[in-house]
Structure 1
Amino acid sequence: MRKTITHLCTATLATAIIFSPAIYAADSGAIQAFQATYSVVSEGSVSLKGESTRSLSQNEQQQWLLQSQASALFASIKESSRFSLDQNRITPLQYTYNRKVLGKTRKANLSFDWQTQTVTNDVENKPWKMEIQPGVLDKLSYQLQLQTDVAAGKKEFTYAVADGGRLKTYSFAVTGEETIETPAGNFKSIRVERIYKDNKDRQTLIWFAPALDFQLVKLFRQEKKDKTYSLLLKKTDS
């Protein structure tokens, strides 16, 4: 039972921070600072409910900081990504991850060195380096890049992501439009689906609202036939 709760708490919170709401200014074509709150629900052998908050800010060096924090029952996850931005293309500089589940913690830190084209992965104080190429993103900054690309009118998306000590390919496609009901209001939204290869049981759907400068308003994820996770906008300050 303990292992089941640990797995579900972690999966729920991971889902909660899969996508963070980039505020895309229609007049300038640039992201803007924001803060938003979402409700999180996990359905499966154990049902869980929680909340996720995210924010985006800019420092004096013109670098951006994207932060996400989710909590549900026995678990919490905090993530952050510090990055630079040039013509709506994100270049990650540092990524941090801190997870607590049933009193156990896991920490990770990724430092990007673009002069040497390497990233130092430090997980549980055991660092190692990995070669990267221009355009590689981290597990949080790619989410912001996806929303920026949706706002730019693109229909298909592929990203190289430094994930788990290796480079992974994440692919998405726009699959339609729907009106989504949320506690913050009803919004006509663009639906985006993640493309999984050879895994029919997994599904991830994300809805972005143009009226909210392409904020994420809803997310639905299915890991297995009997396990689903959802995210729904509660309020936003942009």
Structure 2
Amino acid sequence: MTLRHLLRFAGALLLVSASGLAFATPPRAFTATYRVLRDGSPMGEATVSLKALGNGQWEYSKHMRGTAGLAALLGANLDEVSHFRWKGDVPEALSYDYRLDAAIKSRQRHVAVDWSKHQVTVDEGKGAITYATQPGMVERNTTALAIGMALRDGQKQIALPVAVRQAVETQRFKVTGKEKVTVPAGDFDTVRVDRTDADRGFSAWYAPDRYPLPVKLSQKDGGNLTMELVSFR
């Protein structure tokens, strides 16, 4: 191999390596706040944050507080905390804790992932359920972040293995168009993403060149809820 060929080969390797590093760069730690509406009326506020814990682990949390209407009257609070590791640009699940507290009911769920045993354990206080892991598996709390990372990488159709109560199910999402969206944080040119594998009424609007989270999210499963971005830092 001549010197010219060696230089070309080295340059090609450098380009591939640099592209790979950029492709798999995780987002920086952030805190985002949202206003939450139910059927178009203010219901509460949510804070979503991401931070590095060290040793390759990250924490992604969502804290929602009822501040208006029935949610405030019932003192409804929702806390979700996920621990994960990055596998490329996928937030691969390590654990997930869900807790809902309100005057009339409370609910909790703990999900633990043992990758050495390839086992997921789900406990809602009524006896644990176990099932097999899948590589690149996320859970319900980190799904929005996983979609945002896939969009940042240019994907238009996204299939995510998601750990739910009794199994890992493949959830499918698709970019269905571009729309201008106005939320408290401002005006955004967004791509709209809809879930396509089930009639769950999930739609989200992302500005993937700016944020890894949606600027607006609408979900009808469990109530006609909308989250609109207020600030991101």
| TM-score, length basis structure 2 | 0.80
Q: Per the alignment, do residues 95 and 178 of structure 1 end up closer, same or farther by CA in structure 2, a change over 3 Å counting?
A: same
- The alignment's C-alpha RMSD in Å is 2.3
Calculate percent identity across the aligned residue pairs: 29
Within 2, Cα distance between the matches of 1:112 and 1:86?
A: 15
Question: What residue in structure 2 maps to residue 181 of structure 1?
Answer: 182
- Relative contact order, higher structure (CA 8 A, sep 6+): 1
Within 2, Cα distance between the matches of 1:194 and 1:121?
A: 24
Superposed CA offset, 1:212-232 (max 9, x none): 2343111123359xx632111
May I ask how many residue pairs the two structures share in their alignment? 206
Question: What residue in structure 1 maps to residue 8 of structure 2?
Answer: none
Within 1, Cα distance between the matches of 2:203 and 2:55?
A: 35
Within 1, Cα distance between the matches of 2:138 and 2:212?
A: 20
Q: Answer yes or no: is 1:35 the counterpart of 2:36.
A: no
Q: Per the alignment, do residues 215 and 122 of structure 1 end up closer, same or farther by CA in structure 2, a change over 3 Å counting?
A: closer
Greater helix proportion: 2
Query: Tell me, what secondary structure is at the counterpart of 1:66?
Result: strand
Which ranges of structure 2 fall in alignment gaps of 5 or more residues?
A: 1-21, 67-71
Question: What residue in structure 2 maps to residue 219 of structure 1?
Answer: 217
Question: In the alignment, which of 40, 45, 50 is matched to residue 44 of structure 2?
Answer: 50
Question: What residue in structure 2 maps to residue 15 of structure 1?
Answer: none
Q: Is the 8 A contact 1:138 1:162 kept in 2?
A: yes
Superposed CA offset, 1:104-158 (max 9, x none): 2211111101111101112116223212222222111232211100111101111
Amino acid of the residue matched to residue 69 of structure 1?
H
Greater strand proportion: 1
Within 2, Cα distance between the matches of 1:100 and 1:203?
A: 25
Rg comparison, structure with higher value:
2
Question: In the alignment, which of 61, 64, 67 is matched to residue 70 of structure 1?
Answer: 64
Query: Tell me, what secondary structure is at the counterpart of 2:140?
Result: coil
Within 1, Cα distance between the matches of 2:104 and 2:224?
A: 24
Q: Answer yes or no: is 1:112 the counterpart of 2:113.
A: yes
Superposed CA offset, 1:42-95 (max 9, x none): 018xx5511111100001223110000112222111001101113213221111
Within 2, Cα distance between the matches of 1:62 and 1:105?
A: 33
Q: Per the alignment, do residues 120 and 27 of structure 1 end up closer, same or farther by CA in structure 2, a change over 3 Å counting?
A: closer
Superposed CA offset, 1:8-38 (max 9, x none): xxxxxxxxxxxxxxxxxx8974221100110
Question: What residue in structure 1 maps to residue 16 of structure 2?
Answer: none
Within 1, Cα distance between the matches of 2:209 and 2:153?
A: 14
Q: Is the 8 A contact 1:55 1:68 kept in 2?
A: yes
| TM-score, length basis structure 1 | 0.78
